Structures are given as structure tokens and as C-alpha cells.
Chain A
Amino acid sequence: MNTSAIVMMLLAMAVIWGGLALAVISLMRHGAVEDRTENVRRDL
């Protein structure tokens, strides 16, 4: 493979698959915050 093709393939992977990873992490963290809030509310 030529260098420019390799760079573009890696770039596409990084942006798209990295974007997916970030979106999943963000969703999980936000969900986790909600869960903790729920627990606090239950204790109250």
C-alpha cells in the first residue's frame, strides 16, 4: 500500500472508530452519573 492510502485509512479508522468509542464512553459515564443520583435519592 502506498503511504497516502495508509495514512487515510488510519485517519478514517481513528476518527470513525475513535468517535464510536468516545460516544460509548460518554453514554456510559452519563448513565453512571444518573445511577449514582438515583442511589442518593433512594437513601434520602
Chain B
Amino acid sequence: MSTTAGRATEQSDEQRRGAFSSRRVFILAAIGSAVGLGNIWRFPYVAYENGGGAFVVPYLVALLTAGIPFLLLDYAIGHRHRGSAPLSFARLRRGTEGFGWWQVAICFVIAIYYAAVLAWALRYTFFSIDQAWGSDPEAFFFGEFLQAGEVEISTDVVAGVLVPLLIVWLVVIGVMALGVQRGIGVVSLVFIPLLVLAFVVLVVQALLLDGAGTGLDALFTPDWSALTEASVWAAAFGQIFFSLSIGFGIMITYASYVGRREDMTGSGLVVGFSNSSFELLAGIGVFAALGFMAQANGVAVDEVASGGIGLAFIAFPTIISEAPGGALIGVLFFGSLVIAGITSLISVIEVVISAVRDKFDTSRLTATLVVVIPTAVLSLVLFSTTSGIYVLDVVDHFVNQYGILVVALISMLVVAWGLRALTPLGQHLNVHGRPRVGTGWRVLTSVVAPAGLAIVLVLSLKDDFDAPYEDYPTWLLVTFGWLMVVALPLIGFLLARLKWRAGTHLDGPPPGSDPAEPVHATTSATGPDLRKGAEPAQDEGGLR
């Protein structure tokens, strides 16, 4: 195909699918996806539990040998094949399209419950102002706020969760309907700098509290003996893997929206280190605050250290109640959770919307409504009731451990060993990417990263077979855990049997997607110039 025709195809494809206007927007959007709730409430506790300061060693090894190589693999797949996860896999080899839909199904499930946690954080941002939880934050959270009763499926709606959850979904619909650049891009441009600013202020506030040094001691004092334990290394690989948003379609989708002449390798390094930089910042802020809490209550830090929901909705409210300037700390902390969460949620939803648009050739607005409304309804039905927290906990555990982890591992092995696609993907990255990727990247991606993920998976399976997760009843674990994770690949490969819209290019990268094609060509026959510095193709938003 001629260069001119290729450019015309590229332009029409960008106009149809939407695109980020620049590398900066893409990087911020990718950081927004990677930096989520896990950076703030998971990393600090994982580091503390797994060797403290010594955890830096396995963490960096995991980042450099598995996290960033895998991130670059996702980028290469999406950027080279210019499609959502199913379309990119179909272009790699038609028979592998199901892996893309499996990833889409996982994103659909994650979006359903992730929004609920955002709704809680949104409500707690306002609770922080007058410390509405009173003297017992734990009783307030489970009792007054969630109204959680027995472990059963309930249809009793909790208005205090329903309303913020509805607000979250309305915001998501608005952002997603605006499109890739005007929606996701603009939100990322505004929210990511705001998130960093808010968190820096929070960390400074936390460091000024009495006892902050004690907390940092607990986090950073190295326990070198931990480095001999396999579980510590698995925790590091797991943290890096879950934190970077890799292996379940997000980075494939986002990379497909980036101009074909961008440096994806350099961008990947920036995103990977940004994610870890924020985690480190979060660790400092969280443990400085926990140090204050421990000192104020006259106990050791290990008695107050926690992660996840316990950290955010029980420990932090306690800190906010006791610390000078607690309201500010509360608004900054929960506001940061909301911002970090919303940018991650839109990236998860975009995986589904992008797949629907690619497969069925619908407009942005139609795809947004078709995807977001059912997701929101399920989210509201399942998680605004008094049984919401139990279902959420189980779904979250299983979709992460046996959804994301398994699809990432299998699809990575299929790409590396089944399709032997690493060489062309590496060559694609190297056309404009620096530093160049070579044999080392291929070895890391085909051997080291899968081995790391496999170990994480085996240890997780062992834990779940040794004892029921959190001692939940079997019916709950089977229904919302095991059955759900088994259903996801089945649904994925069933969806892959549906026909593509007429004219969809399959089997190989689409025409006009070769980054090695000359940058300059006459523009008279192809409309607006797509060169660097020129106006980007307009994302159509909901115009069609």
C-alpha cells in the first residue's frame, strides 16, 4: 500500500476510534490507570509485611524484570495492531481473539465493584470534614454506613451508598461519552497533577505529626532474612503486577490510541517508574500517619498497621479524628482515593467500550450507553445493599488472583511461545523507541515474567485451598468466586465467535500502522496533517 493511502487509512482509523492528542496525554492517562487504590492502600502494607526496607530489593527486581517488560509487551501489542484487546489479538492471530474478550470480561467485572469503593471514598471525603464516624470508626463503617449484617445476599438498599454510587456512574458516563481525548485525556491532564499535588501536601502533613518517625522506622527498617522467603518475592511480583494495570487489556487499548511514531519504550519506562514513585510516596505518607496513630494510642505500629479497606476506612478515620488538622488530612486522603480511583475506573471501562466499538462499529455515545448502563445497574444492585461488602470482597479477591493473573499468564505464554510474536513486537518498539529492546526483553517476557506470575498464582491457589478465603461460606465463594472466574474465559471465547463489522482488517497490523513509514508525504490527498505538532485527529466523542 502506498504511503499516502496508508496515511489516509491511519487518519480515518484515528477519527473513527479516537486518539490521544500527544504522548504527554497518553503517559498521563496510563499513569492514571496504573495509579489506583492499590498504590495507596496496598503497597505500604505489602512492603511492611514483607521485609520493610529490604522489600525494596525484590520490588525493584520485579519492576525491572517483569513489570516493565510486560508493560512494553502490552504497549507493543496495542500500538502495532491499533485495536482494542480483542481486535489486537485477532490481528495477532484470529484464533487468539478470545483472550482479548476474556480480558474485556474481567474489566467489566472489575468496573462493577471498583465503582462501589469509589463511592465509599467519595462519601468519606465529606465525612472527614466533621468526622462523622465519631469515636468508633470501625463500628460506624460496618454498622451505620454500610449497614452490613449477616453474610447473605440482601436486597435491602443502603441509601448512603446508593447516592454516591449513582454520582460516580453519572460522572463515568459523562467522561466516557466525551471520548478518548476530550474525556479520558482531559480528565488525566487535570486529575493526575492534582492527585500528585494533593498527595504531596498529605505526606507533608503526615510527616509533621508526632510519631511519624516511628511509622517510617517500621516501614523502612530492613529485615534482610525476608529475602530468603519465596513468599516475599511472590509478594513483590504480585504487587508490581497488580499495580501496573498490565495483562488485562488496559495498556493494549491505551497504546492503540497513540500516534504510530511515538516512543513507546521510553513512555513505558516513565509510566512504570511513575507508578512506583507514587507507591513510595504513599508508603511514606501512610506509615507516617500510622506512626502518629500508634504513638497517640500508646501501642506499637504493628498493632495499627493494616492495608486495604481496613486502612482506608478504619485506621485513617481514627488518625483524622486524633491528628491536628485532621479534616485537611481526611479530605486530602479520601480525595486522593477518589481521583486515583476514577482515572483507573475509566481505563477499565474504556477496555470494554473500545472492544464493543471495534467489533460492532457503533458510535462512541451508543457504545458508552450500551456498556456503562448495564455495568452501573449491576453495580448498584450488587453493591448498594447491606450485603455489598461481602460480595465485593470475594469478587475482588477472585477476579484479581484467578482472573487477571491467569489471563495475563496464559496470553503472555501464547504470544511468546505459541505465536512467537516477540521478535516482530520488539522490532516494532525499536522503530521509534529508546532504549532498544532485544534478547534481554524477550527472555524476561517469555521466561522470567511468566515464571514470576506462575509462582504468585500457585501460592495463591495453595492459600485458597488450605482455608476458605476470609472464612466466607462456601456458597458465597463458589457463586461469586470460582464460578465467576470460570465463566469469564467461556464468555470471552463465546464473544470471539461473533462476526466482526464489515471491512475490519484482521490477520496482521492494519494498513498505515507501520511506524517505519516516512513521516512526510503530501497532504493534499489525505486531509489534515498528522505530523508532530499538527492538530490531532479529532476524537468524535458522541457526534456520530
Q: What is A's interface to B at a CB cutoff of 8 Å?
A: 1-2, 4-9, 11-13, 15-17, 19-20, 23-24, 26-27, 30-31, 34-35, 38, 41-42
Q: CA–CA, A17 to B56, complex, Å?
A: 13
B159-167, B214-222, B359-367: which lies at the interface: B214-222
**Bound Cα distance A1, B432 (Å):** 46
What per-residue 1/0 map shows which CB atoms of B424-447 lie under 8 Å from chain A? 000000001011000000000000
Which residues of A have CB within 8 Å of B270? 20, 23-24, 27
The answer to whether B56 and A2 touch across the interface, beta carbons within 8 angstroms, is: no
Bound Cα distance A35, B269 (Å): 20
Is the CB–CB distance between B56 and A26 below 8 Å?
Answer: no
The answer to whether A1 and B280 touch across the interface, beta carbons within 8 angstroms, is no
A6 closest partner in B (C-beta): B220
Chain B contributes a number of interface residues (CB within 8 A of A) equal to 33
B23 contacts the other chain (CB 8 A): yes
B216 engages A27 (CB within 8 Å)? no
Selected contact of A4 from candidates B60, B219, B221, B532, CB within 8 Å: B221
Q: Show 12 residue pairs from A and B whose CB-CB distance is below 8 angstroms, ordered by the A residue.
A: A2-B221, A5-B52, A8-B221, A9-B219, A11-B53, A17-B280, A20-B273, A20-B274, A23-B273, A24-B270, A26-B269, A30-B266
Give A19 to B338 CA distance when docked, in angstroms: 27
Alpha-carbon distance A41/B380, docked complex (angstroms)? 56
Whole-angstrom CA separation of A19 from B266 in the bound complex: 12
- Chain B residues near A8 (CB, 8 Å)? 52-54, 56, 220-222
Q: Does B397 contact A (CB under 8 A)?
A: no
Given A17-B277, A20-B274, A26-B269, answer yes or no on A9-B263 (Cβ-Cβ < 8 Å). Answer: no
Of B60, B221, B274, which one neighbours A5 at CB under 8 angstroms?
B221
Name B280's contact: one of A7, A16, A34 (CB within 8 Å).
A16
Cβ < 8 Å to A, chain B residues 376-409: none
Chain B 254-282, CB-CB to A under 8 Å as 1, else 0, gives 00000001010011011011101100100
**B271-295 CB contacts (< 8 Å) to partner A:** 272-274, 276-277, 280, 284
Rounded to whole angstroms, the CA-CA distance of A9 and B284 in the bound complex is 9
> Do A34 and B532 touch (CB < 8 A)?
yes
Residue of A nearest to B214 (CB): A1
Docked-complex contact A9 and B220, CB < 8 angstroms = yes
| 9 closest cross-chain pairs (CB), A and B | A8-B53, A27-B266, A20-B273, A23-B269, A5-B220, A5-B221, A9-B220, A8-B220, A19-B273
Known contacts A4-B53, A20-B270, A38-B531; is-contact A30 B216 (Cβ 8 Å)? no
Q: With A4-B53, A30-B263 given, name 5 new contacts (CB 8 A).
A: A8-B53, A23-B272, A23-B273, A27-B266, A27-B270
Interface of A is mostly: helix
Judge whether B269 and A12 touch: CB under 8 Å. no
B222 and A4 contact, CB distance less than 8 A: yes
How far, in whole Å, are A26 and B284 apart by their CA atoms in the complex?
27
Closest A residue to B279 using CB positions: A16
Q: Does B505 contact A (CB under 8 A)?
A: no
Tell which of B56, B213, B273 touches A12, judged by Cβ atoms closer than 8 Å: B56
Residues of B within 8 A of A24 (CB): 270
CB of A1, distance to nearest CB on chain B (Å): 5
Max chain B C-beta neighbours (<10 A), residue from A1, A2, A17: A1
With most chain B CB atoms within 10 A of its CB, the pick from A2, A12, A19 is A12
Contacts of A30 in B (CB 8 A): 263, 266, 434
Q: Is B60 in contact with A15, judged by CB distance below 8 angstroms?
A: yes
Q: Kindly name the residue among A23, A34, A38 whose own CB sees the greatest number of chain B CB atoms within 10 A.
A: A23
Q: Is B520 in the interface zone, CB < 8 Å from A?
A: yes
B284: A residues at CB distance < 8 A: 9
A17 to B273, CA, bound (A): 7
Interface string of B293-314 (1 = CB under 8 A from A): 0000000000000000000000
A13's nearest neighbour on chain B, judged by CB, is B280
Q: B451: which A residues are within 8 A, CB to CB?
A: none
Contact A26 B53, beta carbon cutoff 8 Å: no
B56 touches A27 (CB 8 A): no
**Cα(A31)–Cα(B276), bound, Å:** 23
Give the CA-CA distance A13 to B520 in the complex, in Å: 43
In whole angstroms, how far apart are the Cα atoms of A7 and B224 in the complex?
A: 14
Complex Cα spacing A16 to B220, Å: 15
In the bound complex, do residue A2 and residue B519 qualify as a contact, i.e. CB atoms below 8 Å apart?
no
For A11, what are the chain B residues with a Cβ–Cβ distance below 8 Å? 53, 56
**B277 and A20 contacting across the interface, CB-CB below 8 Å:** yes
- Shortest distance between the CB of A30 and any CB in chain B (Å): 5
Residue of A nearest to B212 (CB): A1
Tell me which residues across on chain A come within 8 A of B272, comparing CB atoms: 23
Task: Report Cα–Cα, A38/B216, bound state, in Å.
Answer: 49
Q: How far is the CA of A26 from the CA of B520 in the complex (A)?
A: 25
Chain A: CB-nearest residue to B224: A4
Cross-chain contact A23 with B266 (CB below 8 angstroms) = yes
| Residues on the A chain within 8 Å of B53, using CB | 4-5, 7-9, 11-12
> Which of chain A's residues have a CB closer than 8 A to the CB of B273?
16, 19-20, 23
